[in-house]
């Protein structure tokens, strides 16, 4: 009796059976019970020695997740792990705070684990250029651009953050909003944040609208809690705002919750627009208006490019994945 035999009898995938046997949480209770019933029926015992030998034969891909609370990055991670599972690679996951230097961490991990490639989920190649230039294996940054780093095999797959943020700001402006606040990341800690802010500012300038950074920008982490905290501070500083541009859906949802607790109705009293297109935004009340990043395409393209660089010595690639705009219910047209 092998894992394949168990999978055949259960009507499950081999990977599903493997996750059950290794006590992985990503399996439904019903499926887990079905697999364990067949295991018990045949007195199956997992050959851990064979498993360890197989793992030793597999090459390692390190996945560095930049940010402990990003729903988008977690969905990218899940997709990539599933894509790697049938391949001759092991995935080693490292999670960093969003303000840490991911390139320095990657260089340290290289000497510890000797991976054949590194996937950065999030990251700031421009900010940590010197450490990125020291990387010795093919790498790919997913969700941010890395086109300005030369001399190493560093690829990137991302949404065009500048253009997407510009599109969102233009949408708010075309809906009649002139006094728009921003909830974003730390501008000194993330070039992705800077690109989104630059895109927003570009739209405001093209429309002839002023933006008071001190009164209308609050920095926070890309999280529900960060968005809620920032919304409170923002409205205390500037009660004339009619709309808020947030740099993530998690921030937007946190902001909406806080604004509601403060007595504001969304979008009747103030409009909120997000960025990412996470599934929770579709079910939030009101349904979130947002930029939708195509996470499956980002993950698939990023992994494919990295493997091509590893296995075929291909040249690094910097690629944009088109975004979609979701017309939700959190933005109202205003008339001046």
User: What is the helix (H) or strand (E) element at residue 336, kind and residue range?
Assistant: none
Q: Which residues 6+ apart lie within 8 Å of 258 measured at CB? A: 227, 228, 229, 231, 232
Predicted pLDDT at 1: 67
Q: Which CATH class is domain 59-159+294-321?
A: alpha beta
Provide CATH code, domain 3-50.
1.10.260.40
Q: Are strands 154-158 and 318-320 parallel, antiparallel or unpaired?
A: parallel
Ranges in the chain annotated CATH 3.40.50.2300: 59-159+294-321, 161-293
Closest CA to 97 of 75, 119, 72, 64: 64
Predicted pLDDT at 47: 60
Q: Are strands 289-292 and 324-326 parallel, antiparallel or unpaired?
A: antiparallel
Q: Residues in the chain with pLDDT < 50? A: 49-55
Provide CATH code, domain 161-293.
3.40.50.2300
Q: In this structure, are residues 321 and 159 in contact, taking their beta carbons and an 8 Å threshold?
A: yes
Ranges in the chain annotated CATH 1.10.260.40: 3-50
């Amino acid at each position: 009796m092998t894992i394949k035999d168990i999978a055949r009898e259960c009507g499950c995938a081999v990977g599903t059976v493997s996750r059950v046997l290794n006590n992985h949480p990503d399996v439904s209770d019903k499926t887990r019970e079905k697999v364990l019933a067949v295991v018990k029926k045949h007195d199956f015992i997992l050959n851990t020695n064979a498993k360890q030998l197989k793992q030793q034969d597999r090459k390692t891909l390190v996945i560095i997740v930049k940010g402990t609370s990003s729903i988008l990055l977690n969905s990218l991670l899940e997709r990539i792990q599933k894509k790697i599972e049938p391949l001759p690679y092991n995935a080693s996951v490292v999670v960093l705070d969003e303000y840490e230097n991911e390139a320095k961490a990657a260089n340290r991990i290289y000497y510890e684990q000797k991976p054949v490639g590194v996937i950065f989920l999030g990251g700031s190649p421009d900010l940590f250029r010197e450490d990125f230039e020291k990387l010795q294996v093919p790498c790919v940054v997913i969700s941010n651009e890395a086109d300005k780093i030369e001399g190493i095999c560093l690829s990137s797959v991302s949404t065009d953050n500048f253009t997407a943020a510009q599109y969102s700001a233009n949408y708010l402006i075309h809906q009649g909003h002139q006094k728009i606040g921003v909830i974003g990341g730390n501008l000194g800690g993330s070039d992705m944040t800077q690109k989104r802010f630059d895109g927003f500012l570009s739209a405001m300038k093209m429309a002839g609208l002023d933006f008071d950074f001190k009164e209308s920008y609050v920095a926070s982490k890309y999280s529900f809690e960060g968005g809620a905290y920032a919304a409170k501070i923002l409205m205390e500083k500037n009660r004339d705002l009619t709309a808020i541009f947030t740099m993530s859906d998690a921030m937007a949802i946190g902001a909406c919750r806080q604004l509601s607790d403060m007595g504001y109705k969304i979008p009747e009293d103030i409009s909120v627009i997000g960025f990412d297109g996470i599934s929770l935004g579709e079910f939030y009340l009101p349904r979130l208006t947002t930029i939708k990043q195509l996470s499956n395409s980002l993950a698939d393209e990023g992994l494919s490019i990295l493997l091509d660089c590893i296995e075929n010595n291909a040249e690094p690639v910097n690629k944009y994945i088109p975004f979609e705009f979701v017309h939700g219910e959190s933005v109202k047209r205003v008339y001046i």
